Every structure is written in structure tokens, then in C-alpha cells.
Amino acid sequence: MLYWMFDVAIASPTAKKKKKKKTNQPTNQQPDQARMGSEYSQQDYHSFLTKADLKDSLNTLNNLLTTTKTYRVALISLANATAAFAKSLEDCARLKGTQAIFQEQQQQEQLQSTSDSVNSSPFTPHSSQHDIPSQNSNPAEKLLAASGLHFLTANLEQVLSDTFKNSFELPLLNLYESYRQQLAQHQNRYESLLSIKTKAIRETELRNMNQGGSRHSRNTPRDLDSFRRGLKELQDQVEQVESLKQSYYLQVANGERQVWNKVAENISLVVKSEVEVYDRIASKPISDPTLEAMVTSIPDPFDAFKPVGTMSRSASGTGPEIYSILDPLSSLLLGSPQKTRRSPRFDEVDSLLGEPPPTGLDLSDSDI
């Protein structure tokens, strides 16, 4: 690009002394070049996003938008199915058969209490079965309690679906459309300015080459000042192009950061809503005695509970073990202190450490 500049310096016989001054001249430009290099070295590598990276980002955001809609529709379907299941449980509870079973149980308890009161002495305290809470509860009451729980679940799932749509899906759709338009505008503006500046560099280079080749006589003195001005002009134009690229890359990186920070904020709201909804469902048995009795009657449906004495035989390999997905302390909180379980990865950790697994657990009063 700058071959004609060196030809001018070599072709002039009177430019030898000036050539020495020329070798010392670029020293004034070295700090500027070092400064530009330091600016680029301070930028992170991930800040320079290519067109492929931006396309991948848009495709990922579009895929998230598609799965968001699918999840919301599934929540609505689940809410409708849960409500239908709750209605079926309510219909079962209102049958005459379930009511007749409860009435028959009440009649048997009344007959048993009267017979105990007749046979007992008036001076002797007695304890009949009606003093102890009956283990047989009303099946209709259980069905109604389960129906109410599922109606509550259906309502909360509907609320969760609406919250998911208004707080995540619609903002995500607006964010996707605006970000796509913003990227297109930035790309068009960058390419337009880059084309203008590169065209100016070519014109400056062509003009300087024409000025250098117009002198055909070797005896004519060369104008080194115009040579320096042309070189300085080219250098300034190249720096403008590099500055344009740097500002564009930083602008794109900031746009990406803002978009995904917004997505993270919206999904945090969704997570908070889901946690609140499922906590509300989990706390329902605490306020309902019927549901509490139903829950405490089955401590852990995901585990095969065994007495402590049988753990040694199961650990030795004589009996199968079914591990639970619940917290090991949940059995104690739900009222089954006589049951215990082992961790599903207990034997795996022991095999890695080279230690044999324990044969059993013995919890006695002396050890506590």
C-alpha cells in the first residue's frame, strides 16, 4: 500500500540526510500505537462477539420463548386435569355408599359403648373403646379433604400459569422482538460506517500514490512533508476504523449482558412464584386435621420402612432395599421414629473409600 513512499525516498539523491531524520520520526508515534494496543488488551475475549455468536444468542432466546409457551399450556392442562380429578373425588364422597359405611361404623361404636356401660360397675372406672379415638375414620371425610386439596392445587396452578404468562412469557416476547431489531440496526449502522471509512482510506491511498508517481524526473526534489502528511492521514483513518470496531463490539457485548440479565430477573420471579405455590400446598395439611391424619398415617410413600432390628439382615443382602427420595429426617418429623433408612449412595461412597458398608444401625437410649 505504501510502496511508493519508499520509492520516493530511494529515488532522491538529496534525501539521504533527510532519511536519517525519517528513521527517528516514527518514535513520536509509538506511544499512540502502544496506547491502542493496551486498550485492546484490556478488553475481555468474550466481548468480541461474532455474527455467529449473535445468531446463536437469538436462536437460544427464541427456543426459550417456545418452551415457555409449551410449559404454560401444560400448566393450564394440568390445572384443568387436577380440577377434574378433584370433582371426581367430591362425587365419590357424596355417594350413599360412603355415607352408609360411616353410619354403620357409628352404629357399631354406639352399640359397643352401651354394652360396655351396662356390664361395667358404677363404682369401677372403666375404659371403653369410645374413650379412645377410633382408628376407622369417615371415608367420605377423607375423600372430601383430598378433593379440597386438589381444588386448591388446581386454583394455584391456574394462578401460576397466569403469573408465568404475564411476568415471564410476554416480557420475554417483547424483549426478543426489541433485541432483534436493535441488533439489526446496530449491524446496519456499523457496516455503513465501516464501508465509508474503508472507502476513504482507499481514496487517500490512491491520491498519495498519484502524487508520488507524478514526478518522472529523478533530479526533481521530493516533498517529504507531503509524504509525512499522507502517512499521518492514513494512520488517522485506520485508527478511526479500529475505534469504530471497538465501540461496536462493546455495544454488542453490553446489549447481550442487559438482555440476559433481564431474563435472569424474570425467571427469578417465576421461581419465587413456584416456591410460594408449592409451599402453600405443602402447608395445607397443617391447618386441616383430616389431611394431617392422612399424611401422618403414611410417613414416606417412596420408601420400604423396616424396624431397626431388621436392618442388619437387609444390610447383609438377605432382603431388598428401596431408597427414598425424601429427606432422611422427614420420617422423624412425620412421626415414625421406629423407622430408618440408608442413603442411596452410602454403599457407593464406601466402595470408593475402600471401607466395608455398615451392617446395621442400633439406636438405643444409652447412645443418645
Q: For the chain, what are the domain ranges?
A: 48-107+136-287, 302-353
CA quadruple 328, 329, 333, 339: dihedral sign = positive
d(CA 166, CA 93): 37
Percent of the chain clearing pLDDT 70 (strictly above):
55
**Rounded average pLDDT over 12-41:** 44
Q: Which residues contact 220 (CB under 8 A, 6 or more apart)?
A: none
Degrees to nearest 5, angle at CA 27 with 23 and 28: 125
Level-2 CATH architecture, domain 48-107+136-287: Up-down Bundle (1.20)
pLDDT in the model for residue 68? 94
Among 202-206, 241-245, 309-313, the least confident range: 309-313
> pLDDT at position 273, please?
93
Q: Which residue has the cell 415457555?
A: 68
Mean pLDDT along residues 166-192: 91
Cell matching residue 299: 410417613
For residue 232, pLDDT over 60 is answered with: yes
**Confidence at residue 262, expressed as pLDDT on a 0 to 100 scale:** 93
121: left (phi over 0), alpha (psi -120 to 50) or beta: beta
How far are the Cα atoms of 128, 305, 308, 324 from residue 316, in angstroms, in the given order?
45, 16, 14, 19
**Highest mean pLDDT pick, 24-33, 199-208, 266-275:** 266-275
Helix runs in the chain, H state only: 3-11, 16-24, 30-42, 51-93, 96-119, 139-164, 170-213, 224-282, 284-287, 289-297, 311-315, 330-333, 346-353
Give pLDDT, residue 38: 44
Residue pair 166/266 in contact (Cβ under 8 Å)? The answer is no
pLDDT, one tens digit per residue, over 79-121 is 999 999 999 999 998 888 777 666 666 666 666 666 655 555 4
Closest listed residue to residue 302, CA positions, set 334, 278, 350: 334
- Report for 27-31, 155-159, 227-231, 333-337: range of highest mean pLDDT: 155-159
3-state SS assignment for residue 122 = coil
The crossing angle, in degrees rounded to 10, of helices 96-119 and 139-164 is 140
- Does residue 226 carry a pLDDT above 50? yes
Asked if residue 40 has pLDDT above 70, the reply is no
Q: What is the mean pLDDT of the chain?
A: 71
**pLDDT of 18:** 42
CA distance 112 to 239: 102
Highest-scoring range by mean pLDDT, 52-66, 183-197, 205-219, 289-303: 52-66
What residues have CB less than 8 Å from 46, skipping those under 6 apart?
A: 253
For 26-43, what is the mean pLDDT?
Answer: 46
pLDDT at 4: 42
pLDDT band at 237 (very low <50, low <70, confident <90, very high): confident
| Local structure of 306: helix, strand or coil | strand
Q: What is the mean pLDDT of residues 177-186?
A: 90
Beta-bridged to residue 306, according to DSSP, are 340
Q: Around Cβ 89, how many Cβ atoms within 10 Å?
A: 20
Question: CA 365 to CA 211: how far, in whole Å?
Answer: 104
Q: What is the mean pLDDT of residues 161-187?
A: 92
- pLDDT, residue 118, reads 52
Of 126-140, 201-215, 244-258, 274-288, give the lowest mean pLDDT range.
126-140
pLDDT in tens, 316-357: 555 555 555 655 544 444 454 444 444 444 444 444 444 454
Check residue 208 and report its DSSP letter: H
Grid coordinates given for 173: 416476547
239-252: average pLDDT: 87
Paired with 340 in beta bridges are 306
What confidence tier does 241 reach under pLDDT thresholds 50, 70, 90? Answer: confident
Q: What is the rounded average pLDDT of the residues 52-61? A: 92
User: Could you read off the pLDDT of 58-74 as tens digits, one per residue?
Assistant: 999 999 999 999 999 99
Maximum average pLDDT range among 129-138, 163-172, 224-233, 285-294: 163-172
In tens, the pLDDT along 284-305 reads: 988 889 898 888 888 777 765 5
d(CA 1, CA 60): 43
Sign of CA dihedral 77, 81, 82, 83: positive
The set of cell numbers assigned to 51 is 455474527
Half-sphere exposure of 195 (CA within 13 A, CB side): 6
